């Protein structure tokens, strides 16, 4: 789950960087490319949030004790 959080943080940093770059850009072609990049990164972030939500629901249904990897069964 920590890897998921790190990836979400990296995606968010990249979205923020692209937004700042878009705000400073004057060239139309560059602005279009950055807009598409921001859209794609935002959609990817949504996928991560959906996955995290599903994992949290799974944890609530089964409890963390049942998900312990140290137990064989």
Domain extents for the chain? 2-63
Q: What is the mean pLDDT of the chain?
A: 83
The whole-angstrom separation of Cα 8 and Cα 51 is: 11
Name which residue leads in pLDDT, 32 or 9. 32
Name which residue leads in pLDDT, 68 or 42. 42
Nearest by Cα to 12 from 47, 41, 50, 51:
41
53-67: pLDDT as tens digits: 888 887 776 665 555
Share of the chain above pLDDT 90, in %: 42
């Amino acid at each position: 789950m920590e890897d998921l959080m790190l990836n979400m943080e990296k995606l968010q940093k990249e979205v923020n960087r692209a937004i700042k770059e878009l705000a400073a850009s004057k060239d139309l072609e560059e602005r279009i490319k950055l807009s598409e990049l921001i859209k794609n990164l935002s959609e990817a972030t949504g996928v991560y949030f959906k996955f995290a939500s599903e994992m949290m629901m799974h944890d609530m249904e089964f409890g963390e004790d049942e998900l312990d990897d140290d137990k064989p069964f």
